Amino acid sequence: FYCHEYKLVIEIVGDIHNDEENKEYDIGREAELKRFGISVLRFTNDQVIYKLDEVILRIHRVLTKLTPL
């Protein structure tokens, strides 16, 4: 999910992102996004399924610190 107003990417990741090749890709992609002032929040599938309240609270905290365009 990308919110242009806050330049924030919210990503839900599965186990495939634990693979070293995918980790390196994610790090590179996130660095590229940061060059454009875009922040990335990553959550695991399990966090979304079992701890949704915590996920929502973290998103809220980040949004309150970011300045909308």
- Which pair of structure tokens corresponds to residue 42? 């990553």
Q: pTM for this one?
A: 0.82
Q: How far apart, in whole angstroms, are the C-alpha atoms of residue 68 and residue 66?
A: 6
For the CA atoms of 21, 16, 10, 4, what is the dihedral angle to 10 degrees? 50
Q: What is the full per-residue pLDDT of the chain (69 aa) written as tens digits?
A: 999 999 999 999 987 667 778 888 889 999 999 999 999 999 999 999 999 999 999 999 999 998 887
Q: How many C-beta atoms surround the C-beta of residue 8 within 10 A?
A: 19
Q: Phi-psi bin for 37: left (phi > 0), alpha (psi -120 to 50), beta? A: left
